[in-house]
Chains A and B, each alone.
Chain A
């Protein structure tokens, strides 16, 4: 059964991968606006230079030639040159931005589920109490808050009014550091607002899922039996947790796949120099090579994470070993 399951998932993965590659190629090219002419306008390039750029970027070649070049470059890791940051390579740009995204998303990938699951566990454990209702209702409200809006309001309060946190960027502009500790302090200082905002707005779904799964488990027969046997609360809690944390953990696995993609709006609001902001810039600028590379990367991470989540489910949850869903 497990083998069949893995096989079907692998086939699905390939299909998704194929779709991504095709979309990745077609979509950016179908966008309106010729990047060479955009460059020419932004920077007052002489027309001769524009012609050269067009031939350099193969914009004047037929589509199928562009496609061949695309596939080739995809697998040789040569993602070409950015239009906006020419003559820098896409690879260089992405690698320069990636650490910031990994940092921001890494931290929130811990704080968000930790906070969310804690709230959910407590609410589920005391199900039906006022505490449970309060947590649930506030999670529903928080779920509907646009986080860029909360980010803007936090920027206003903490950045403009109280002036205790920087409103954007990952480092103090132009700062030079005398030692590593100073550098770390500056990074953390700039990280505070984004992490706070993301945590305060994204925890809700974890809370709701954890709470519901807690409630489900606590009302299973075996829990009643355990309670009737007079097992101490602590042991009961342990049993419940072991089973109840599976759904939120799966959510976490899937979330890890969205590390880069989920960063677009956050990084844009905070001008955080990560890949998400790079994607935003390249959409605004029609920077095809960067878009191609970024979406390729995004898709790979998402696909792999989804597969990991499936595996996690298959390995940990005996009930799903494995009948097809539905």
Chain B
């Protein structure tokens, strides 16, 4: 309880200090320095626990390959590690939130960043977390080539611990995206554990598997064990500086088979998924009484890429016409079954990392209007010249748009989108545009897209926290390293370069808005939709679910504040302090005496929560199946008898 209060008070205190420091002349150096960064604080999100105790089980679809954070790259390696470490900043609901850091300030020339960190944070082994640990972590990430996040730290020259709670980061060149891109993904690693290892192994550390006792962080959970291919188990860090997590134990259950996972959540063997299920499966899960679906928008845009170097896609008006012809609503409703959001023609989306940069005007600029598409095509001479119902080029050349999609077996969503795009193009009034869909294995198709060997393709591309990601996607290659459309526009290039180097937030926003408008009108890619991953979670055991459009279910707030329902609570909180509104009734003490922590199924509930009896076609014996089986048996017997008669 004491640490919880500290967690609430500390940020406030530090904010005060911060404000004070700006005014106080003794801090003049910093006061002169150009920009202090603003961010949210945790108290905005943290509710008090309604219960201490319980085991939370979250399902992961894939095995953990390494617990060495330096090289961990997949979600399924990063999520377990996220539980045991803290970060300087964290992005919650799209905006940065102070965690270990309490202030960030750039020098005038943006070549030095000063980070202050919170005092009194302890690693699980009791050693205090200091500026030395932060500086060590940054230096490894910046100076070694093998860490997974090295790419975000290439602009960093070095980091130094100025005093116990102050770090200075020196840059080779100013990097406007650094704070948002790098700091929220950086786990602070304990120097006293990793520096000796680094000295022993050198660059071979990339292949090192840390022993359990080396998995020490300052985060809300302590690592207990990892049974390969089965689960990763943690216990709550009861001395956590932000206040202990409400639950006692956390198990990340590895379930590689999607069908098994779905059965597991139906039966209450796990409390939530950490990845999205198939939209159709989500629809059936939604009908279960205690299961809810969190449609988590992924930080990416799903688009129809157009190779802008081949005729007729090198004509920007032609591409614009294609963009007008696509009914994005139909894609979201019919293909994603509603789990998604219509794509902005300006690519940048109105949620998550991109929310502060989103330009709402572009949707008034380009929208679904097949008549407009027809009009543009008429203008640039793409009309039906030979009367076969399909539009031809200005000189009567045949026009066929090739759409490349991964196979339906790999990604049914994209396969269906491809077929629908073909229909949209055919339905342009006054003569459609002929399109052909080609299916390739994804492993084959992906290099073809990258090498510019396909005319148009369907792809989802992720974005980073800072808007400068537009540079890699839309700057003329080779600068735009992931500009598969080979889109080149000198005007856009100039703006993208400025976006990357400018630290002036208003100017950057202006640039971002302008770029979105140009992208909408020039359509190097036709942005289709933002896909949401329907992620199921159970509501009958834990409460205080913190759900935002773009955060996963394993977000930090959930990990800290998910609590057992009071009816299941082994040790209800009876403090007279400002506790939850529910009055602790005396009957709850008669709650299950068995420890619910070890039982794989939800403990018997004294309340009237109905058991998860399925109501869809899945449940109850299917009688048609029995009939068919019977018919089958009869037929086989008949065949056998028929053969026998001959003897």
Contact = CB atoms under 8 A, between A and B. Distances in A.
Interface in A170-205: 171-176
Contact of A168 (B65, B260, B600): B260
A41 B484 CA distance: 13
B443 A49 contact: no
B257 A167 contact: yes
Interface string B140-169: 000001101111101000000000000000
Interface in B426-472: 441, 443-444, 446-447, 450, 462
A297 interface: no
A173 B260 contact: yes
Interface stretch (B4-12, B226-234, B238-246): B226-234
B421 interface: no
Interface in A124-144: 128, 130, 133-134, 137-138, 141
Contact of A49 (B151, B260, B446, B625): B151
A157 B260 contact: no
Contact of B65 (A52, A86, A138, A167): A86
A41 B150 CA distance: 17
Contacts of B640: 133-134, 137-138
A159 B263 contact: yes
Interface string B610-647: 00000000100110010000000000100110011001
B575 interface: no
A252 to B, nearest CB: 28
Contacts, number: 131
A8 to B, nearest CB: 42
A85 B65 contact: yes
A174 B644 CA distance: 53
B435 to A, nearest CB: 24
B443 A168 contact: no
A141 B639 CA distance: 11
Given A49-B148, A87-B71, A167-B259, A174 B57 contact: yes
Nearest to A178: B598
B334 to A, nearest CB: 26
Given A137-B643, A173-B254, A174-B253, A49 B150 contact: yes
User: For the side of the interface on B, what is the size category?
Assistant: 35 or more
A48 B154 contact: yes
A106 interface: no
B253 A173 contact: yes
Interface in B114-141: none
A320 interface: no
B251 interface: yes
Interface string B52-81: 000001010001011010010110000000
Nearest to B481: A47
A300 B68 CA distance: 35
Contacts of B229: 96, 273
B223 to A, nearest CB: 16
B264 A173 contact: yes
Contact of A33 (B207, B209, B251, B446): B446
Nearest to B228: A96
Contact of B66 (A44, A87, A155, A174): A87
A43 B74 contact: yes
A48 B68 contact: no
Contacts of B636: 138, 141
B22 interface: no
Interface in A72-109: 81, 84-88, 96
A141 B643 CA distance: 13
B207 A87 contact: yes
Contact of B231 (A162, A168, A174): A174
B447 A168 contact: no
B151 A169 contact: no
A96 B65 CA distance: 13
B89 interface: no
Given A34-B447, A96-B228, A173-B59, A46 B625 contact: no
Contacts of B643: 133, 137
Nearest to B410: A284
B250 to A, nearest CB: 11
Contacts of B462: 44
6 contacts: A32-B441, A34-B447, A48-B154, A87-B68, A133-B640, A173-B264
Ranked 9 nearest A-B pairs via Cβ: A46-B151, A174-B253, A271-B257, A33-B443, A168-B257, A85-B65, A173-B255, A32-B444, A174-B231
Interface of B: 57, 59, 63, 65-66, 68, 71, 73-74, 145-146, 148-152, 154, 206-207, 209, 228-231, 251, 253-257, 259-261, 263-264, 269-270, 441, 443-444, 446-447, 450, 462, 481, 598, 600, 618, 621-622, 625, 636, 639-640, 643-644, 647
